[in-house]
């Protein structure tokens, strides 16, 4: 008799209760994926402003490292701002290096040529020679 009661209690406790099964879904919701995606235009604005305000060579090169680290080729306006910034801090080598960076980032030669054509005025204005023109390859 007592053994029977005992076993029925055990069986009842082994059965999943209705209350326990009501918990559905994870309690911890993660919102790490809900960042606002920065648009290309705001990215461009941000870096144009950054390069216009850059004070020294360190800042310019830091900004270049950052804006070339994204999965996009910076817009010509950003490049122009960066070139003017490197003129401001008197660093010719960085200006040449920027074009080298573009060459690395673009997908093919026509895109690189398009960038060169687009930036031809400022290249002539500042007197920037490309690395290819410097070393002839």
Of 51, 55, 54, 56, residue with least CA distance to 68: 51
DSSP H or E stretch at residue 86? helix 76-88
The yes or no reply on residue 128 touching another protein (CB under 8 A) is yes
Q: Provide the residue count of the chain.
A: 137
For the CB of residue 125, give the shortest distance to another protein in the complex, in Å: 9
C-beta of 38 vs 104, nearer to another protein: 104
Q: Tell which positions 98-127 bind another protein, by CB under 8 A.
A: 100, 126-127
C-beta of 46 vs 97, nearer to another protein: 97
Distance CA 40, CA 29 (A): 30
Q: Tell which positions 46-105 bind another protein, by CB under 8 A.
A: 55-58, 87, 90-97, 100
Quote the tokens at residue 133. Answer: 């023109």
For the CB of residue 106, give the shortest distance to another protein in the complex, in Å: 19
Distance CA 59, CA 85 (A): 10
Total number of residues that touch another protein (CB under 8 A): 21
C-beta of 40 vs 92, nearer to another protein: 92
Quote the tokens at residue 127. Answer: 């007197």
Distance CA 125, CA 88 (A): 14
Binding site for another protein (CB under 8 A): 55-58, 87, 90-97, 100, 126-129, 131, 134-135
């Amino acid at each position: 008799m007592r053994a029977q009661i005992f076993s029925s209690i055990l069986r009842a406790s082994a059965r999943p209760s209705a209350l326990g099964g009501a918990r559905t879904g994870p309690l911890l919701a993660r919102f790490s994926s809900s960042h606002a995606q920065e648009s290309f235009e705001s990215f461009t604005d941000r870096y144009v402003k950054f390069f216009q305000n850059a004070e020294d060579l360190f800042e310019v090169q830091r900004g270049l490292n950052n804006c070339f680290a994204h999965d996009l080729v910076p817009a010509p306006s950003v490049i122009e701002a960066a070139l003017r910034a490197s003129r401001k801090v008197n660093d010719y080598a960085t200006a040449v290096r920027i074009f080298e960076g573009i060459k690395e980032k673009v997908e093919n030669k026509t895109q690189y040529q398009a960038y060169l054509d687009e930036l031809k005025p400022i290249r002539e204005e500042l007197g920037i020679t490309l690395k290819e023109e410097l070393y002839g390859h």
